[in-house]
Amino acid sequence: MLFKNEFGNDFDLGFNLNDYPYLKDKSWHNDVSPSFYFSIGSQYYVLWVDHAAPAEREDSNSRYLIQGATNESNETHPEIYSSDGDIIFESELFEDIRTFLESLTCQQGHTVS
């Protein structure tokens, strides 16, 4: 898993990544935390996952944050970048993120991929 290579084997996401196969790891060591992209229909999003302990976070955001994103390449070789400051949803609890994702898919009539 890319996020473990970039942020260490001990980094705790707070959820089992295998339960969410649509979350594609795009973590990079120059980012402040692991990140995963997904799409609903043609819209891309990035989920950022920060440390569980607020004192270990570089930013003052919540542990989980979803931003709108764009694919600057194509579907075969995606290059996903989160929009500047376009925070869609944030929470300390992954359960809130899961509920938010379910509501997004219902509103847009698409499944998460």
- State how many domains the chain has: 1
CA atoms within 13 A on the CB side of 53: 3
Residue 10 located in a structural domain? yes
Residue 113 located in a structural domain? no
Residue 23: domain span: 2-108
Residue 97 located in a structural domain? yes
Question: Mean pLDDT across the stretch 34-49?
Answer: 92
Asked if the model's pLDDT at residue 109 lies above 70, the reply is no
Question: Mean pLDDT across the stretch 33-53?
Answer: 93
Q: What is the pTM of this model?
A: 0.90
Burial 29-49 (b: 16+ CB within 10 A, else e): eebebbbbbbbbeeebbbbbb
Residue 11 located in a structural domain? yes
Residue 49 located in a structural domain? yes
Q: For residue range 51-60, what is the model confidence (pLDDT) as tens digits?
A: 999 999 988 8
